[in-house]
Structure 1
Amino acid sequence: MSLHLLALDASSSACSVALLRQNGADRECLARYEMTPRAHTRRLMPMVDELLAEAQITPATLDAIAFGQGPGSFTGLRIATGTAQGLAFGLDRPLLGVSTLKALALQAHRRFHFRYIVTALDARMGEIYAATWHCLNDSVSLEQAEAVLAPEAFSLPEDETDWVGVGSGFTLWERFAATVQVRMSQHLVDMEPRAEEMAWLGADDLAAGLGQPAHLAQPVYLRNNVAWKKPA
């Protein structure tokens, strides 16, 4: 099986693109990542062009497009969604929306081998976007559903697991309940979602038949979904 999948993300202060190339069982990923506050519109497509030039391929070679669908910056999500839709529509390729929180969990697992991860992004207005994950061998399973809520309202599953927190939401660490803090061995605030992990997750979703037509792509804001519950 041969695959060229482009992923892009603008959900945070960072802007990133990645190209996953697969030939049979072999996979490699080329990536670009820049901290570009308020410059996503100006940098996203040039980064795509630079990456394709490095790979020495044209857009027509791409088999699918993945993008960070949220949660995250409202403006950044709209930019990423619109750019991904334009590429997918123009090329007539399937589109895959990837959770920014899931991509962040995979990044933490691959970089530090963490297994039980809380991902939290700063949602502004005194709230966080958060979810919990179990990671094993590059596989990421959702434990508690993604939600937007105040740090004080966040809770962990009732078990004996030690958790690690990653993401900008932990700049509000002092507002998390003491019962949560005591069960988290560490928290890393400087990790942002990256297109590289979205490419890996997008490839798996594509293989599972989850690609969609471009017009069906939607950002995930979570602002109207305030419940914190374990998925069925």
Structure 2
Amino acid sequence: MTRTVLLAIDTSTEYCSVALLSSDERHASASPPIWSRHDATGAVSSARVLPAVRELFDEAGLSLADCSAVAFGAGPGSFTGLRTAAGVAQGLAFGLGVPVVPVGTLLVCAESARLRDTTASRVLAVLDARMDEVYWADYGWDAVQGEWAVLSRPSLAAPDALVAPPSAFTLAGNAAAAFGERLPVASAAHVVDHEAVPHAVPLAHVALRAYRAGRTAPAEQAAPEYIRDKVAQTTAERLAARTVSNGELAR
């Protein structure tokens, strides 16, 4: 079989994002056709995922039996959302007898930035992690390999603790909009791409490269990558954060 049909699912944010990509291995360099849904669902993405999957297969004129692999946004992101994507991907992959392709959501942000601007070869991906912190990672595009190199692994930090890369870079993700001046690296960025956030379309592109390279996993190994162990702030931490915020507004 020369065709790869890859289903990609991301529910790491308030969106339920699903994409279906069909690639002919005989024309691997060509841009493959892709169908997608990206719906604002809040905390109820689980109710939208499977209907969206059915819609895309119908729209593409394909059946679930044509699926080669199921990719999912592994994290970091919403705890509930990550479990939703991993669980749905695992269930579908089990039923179809195909592998899963876990993809980091920060890497998806980098790929999203590059899809809109092919000159984006150094990307600092930073997402609002809530609780006054950010998820971040640093990536460099290897044009020879046609892959992203991980320069700094996904981590958790205070927004003002990030250090800008030494060369020109694109800041991807929603952290600049969420934190404003409290994210100093934004002012050092060559480009700030607020739209480079987790989305199933760039996820599918990353996953296709991973699939072709054999970087897949059995369905039973589908699992989220949380980075943070703590789900919520304590009452004292929330009050302290509110006091700091009020103090900043007063100035």
Do these two structures clear the TM 0.5 threshold for a shared fold by scoring above it?
Answer: yes
Runs of 5+ unmatched residues, structure 1? 225-232
Specify the alignment match of 1:68 in structure 2: 73
Select the structure that is richer in helix. 2
**Does residue 84 of structure 2 align to residue 79 of structure 1?**
yes
Distance (Å, rounded) in 2 between the aligned partners of 1:70 and 1:205 = 16
Deviation at 1:28, TM superposition (A): 1.9
Whether the aligned pair in 2 keeps the contact of 1:72 and 1:123 (CA below 8 Å) is yes
Specify the alignment match of 2:240 in structure 1: none
Alignment map for 1:106-125 (pairs within 5 Å): 106-113=111-118, 114-125=120-131
Whether the aligned pair in 2 keeps the contact of 1:85 and 1:95 (CA below 8 Å) is yes
Distance (Å, rounded) in 1 between the aligned partners of 2:214 and 2:186 = 39
Select the structure that is richer in strand. 1
Runs of 5+ unmatched residues, structure 2? 230-251
**Does residue 103 of structure 2 align to residue 98 of structure 1?**
yes
Q: Could you tell me which amino acid in structure 1 is paired with residue 42 of structure 2?
A: P
Distance (Å, rounded) in 2 between the aligned partners of 1:57 and 1:146 = 35
Whether the aligned pair in 2 keeps the contact of 1:106 and 1:135 (CA below 8 Å) is no
Alignment map for 1:39-54 (pairs within 5 Å): 39-54=44-59
**Does residue 181 of structure 2 align to residue 174 of structure 1?**
yes
Structure whose CA Rg is larger: 2
Deviation at 1:32, TM superposition (A): 1.4
Moved more, 131-140 or 52-61: 131-140
Matched pairs, number: 221
Deviation at 1:184, TM superposition (A): 1.4
Normalising by structure 1, we get a TM-score of 0.89
Moved more, 67-76 or 195-204: 195-204
Question: How many percent of aligned residue pairs carry the same amino acid?
Answer: 35
Distance (Å, rounded) in 2 between the aligned partners of 1:132 and 1:123 = 16
Deviation at 1:190, TM superposition (A): 4.2
Q: Secondary structure at the match of 1:38?
A: coil
Distance (Å, rounded) in 2 between the aligned partners of 1:205 and 1:120 = 22
Specify the alignment match of 1:229 in structure 2: none
Q: Match for 1:206 among 211, 224, 230?
A: 211
Specify the alignment match of 1:162 in structure 2: 168
Q: Secondary structure at the match of 2:180?
A: helix
Moved more, 45-54 or 147-156: 147-156
**Does residue 121 of structure 2 align to residue 133 of structure 1?**
no
Q: Secondary structure at the match of 2:141?
A: strand
**Does residue 159 of structure 2 align to residue 151 of structure 1?**
yes
Whether the aligned pair in 2 keeps the contact of 1:152 and 1:176 (CA below 8 Å) is yes
Q: Secondary structure at the match of 1:124?
A: coil
